[in-house]
């Protein structure tokens, strides 16, 4: 048969037929979307293997504790704690979003955001090292601090706002940045902090959870690691936990990889596949959610009972100027304070389109009184509202109605 007469270019590619094994499927690398492509284009194609006849666009999850491995035990796929083809595709996708067009980038996925954070900190720091953390970051950071200190690592903290971490950098081995910070939504200047840290020989990691890679790209701003919880807006449906680390230096990333192997904090193949599937809609979700978050913030700004309103996308927000320099989208979280704890509870009760639940970034709006957890330094009436993909008019109306209903 004359193959070219079939007109099917895929058929003559050789090794990529339906019989290709798991390793083969992930190994069929497709050229990443050009660095200049739009975010939506990149999101729908990120990490996909080269098309092959009779194969799905995004291969399904590979469930394997071990792989056929006769002879010398060389990779890429040997044992399920070390590597998995479904991770490989997801890692490529995340890498293409966090560092489009950059060569030599390595991405590792983890079971959760905390697994990714711990992997960087505990693989890079030794007893006697100094680590700088934010004092207003994710609520588990104080637990991390206690563990680092138990291992003989000195931990210094400073607020995110005003680039205050600059003042405690001397002698540091690693600077940990979280911007925008959760839940206070303060922002610091990543480039400025990274330059100051590098001048002192320190590594720089940025928690990019709230911004997502479509909101901000820490590696381009000078960071050594972009780290995030994929549990939030990256996957966006509130149904999986995931984390990732993206880095540019093979040696430091080898230590992060080794840590993942030692601790075994690996994502299940199903979670990894769901995450990859969800990333296809990332640009649509992030654009919709940030536009609606701005509309909600603008509506809240008009209300006398609302104080401490924060949204980095609001032109008069204290963080807006620095945020506008380094962010391309401002996220889906709005925070504000109601006069009392009781008022805040009544407000949350009165909402119909917003679930009273923790976490953020999902397609369904959620809100909570953050003070109920303890740990965050926030007033009793502090609300963290995560804006979902509902119609903006419906959501704004629901929030305003709930504010009215909670007044009495």
Ligand X SMILES: *Cc1c(COP(=O)(O)O)cnc(C)c1O
Residues of the shown chain interacting with ligand X in the complex, contacts defined by CB under 6 A:
112-114, 117, 138, 178, 182, 207, 209-210, 229, 231-232, 241, 243
Q: What is the full DSSP assignment across 209-229?
A: TTT-TTT--TTTTT-SEEEEE
CB of 209 to ligand X, least distance (A): 4
Which CB sits closer to ligand X, 114 or 175? Answer: 114
240-261 burial code (b ≥16 CB/10 A, e <16): bbbbbbbbbeeebbeebbebbe
CB of 206 to ligand X, least distance (A): 10
Which CB sits closer to ligand X, 37 or 363? Answer: 363
CB of 210 to ligand X, least distance (A): 6
CB of 335 to ligand X, least distance (A): 13
3-state SS class at 174? strand
Which CB sits closer to ligand X, 112 or 281? Answer: 112
Nearest Cα to Cα of residue 182 among 212, 218, 203, 204: 212
Location of structure tokens 């909600």: 296
User: Which tokens in the block code for residue 194?
Assistant: 């990274």
Closest residue to ligand X, judged by C-beta, is 113
Location of structure tokens 């900190």: 121
Which CB sits closer to ligand X, 188 or 241? Answer: 241
Which CB sits closer to ligand X, 83 or 178? Answer: 178
Which CB sits closer to ligand X, 93 or 396? Answer: 93
What CA dihedral angle connects 204, 277, 139 and 200, to 10 degrees? 0
375: left (phi over 0), alpha (psi -120 to 50) or beta: left
3-state SS class at 180? coil
Sign of the C-alpha dihedral computed for residues 201, 199, 330 and 145 taken in this order: positive
Which CB sits closer to ligand X, 252 or 386? Answer: 386
CB of 22 to ligand X, least distance (A): 26
CB of 110 to ligand X, least distance (A): 9
CB of 360 to ligand X, least distance (A): 7
111: left (phi over 0), alpha (psi -120 to 50) or beta: alpha
């Amino acid at each position: 048969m004359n193959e070219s007469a079939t007109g099917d270019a895929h058929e003559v590619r050789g090794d990529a037929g339906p019989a290709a094994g798991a390793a083969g499927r992930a190994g069929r690398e497709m050229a990443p979307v050009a660095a200049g492509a739009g975010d939506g284009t990149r999101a729908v194609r990120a990490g996909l293997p080269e098309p092959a006849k009779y194969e799905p666009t995004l291969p399904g999850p590979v469930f394997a504790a071990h792989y056929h491995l006769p002879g010398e035990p060389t990779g890429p796929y040997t044992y399920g704690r070390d590597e998995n083809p479904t991770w490989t595709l997801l890692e490529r996708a995340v890498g293409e979003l966090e560092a489009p067009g950059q060569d030599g980038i390595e991405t590792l996925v983890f079971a959760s955001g905390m697994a990714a954070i711990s992997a960087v900190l505990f693989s890079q720091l030794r007893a006697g090292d100094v680590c700088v953390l934010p004092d207003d970051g994710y609520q588990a950071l104080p637990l991390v601090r206690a563990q680092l200190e138990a291992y003989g690592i000195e931990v210094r903290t400073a607020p995110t706002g005003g680039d205050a971490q600059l003042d405690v950098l001397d002698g540091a081995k690693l600077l940990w940045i979280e911007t925008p910070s959760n839940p206070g939504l303060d922002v610091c200047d990543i480039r400025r902090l990274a330059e100051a840290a590098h001048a002192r020989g320190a590594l720089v990691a940025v928690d990019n959870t709230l911004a997502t890679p479509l909101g901000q790209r820490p590696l381009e701003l000078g960071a050594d690691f972009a780290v995030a919880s994929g549990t939030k807006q990256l996957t966006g449906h509130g149904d999986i936990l995931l984390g990732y680390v993206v880095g540019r230096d093979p040696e430091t990333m080898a230590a992060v990889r080794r840590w993942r192997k030692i601790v075994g904090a690996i994502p299940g193949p199903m979670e990894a596949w769901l995450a990859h599937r969800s990333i296809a809609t990332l640009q649509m979700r992030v654009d919709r959610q940030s536009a609606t978050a701005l509309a909600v913030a603008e509506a809240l700004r008009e209300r006398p009972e609302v104080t401490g309103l924060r949204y980095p996308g609001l032109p008069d927000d204290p963080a807006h100027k620095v945020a506008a320099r380094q962010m391309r989208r401002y996220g889906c979280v709005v925070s504000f304070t109601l006069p009392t704890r009781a008022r805040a509870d009544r407000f949350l009760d009165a909402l119909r389109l917003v679930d009273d639940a923790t976490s953020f970034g999902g397609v369904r709006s959620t809100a909570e009184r953050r003070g109920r957890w303890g740990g965050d330094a926030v007033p009793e009436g502090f609300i963290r509202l995560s804006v979902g993909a509902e119609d903006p008019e419906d959501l704004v109306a629901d929030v305003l109605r709930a504010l009215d209903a909670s007044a009495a």
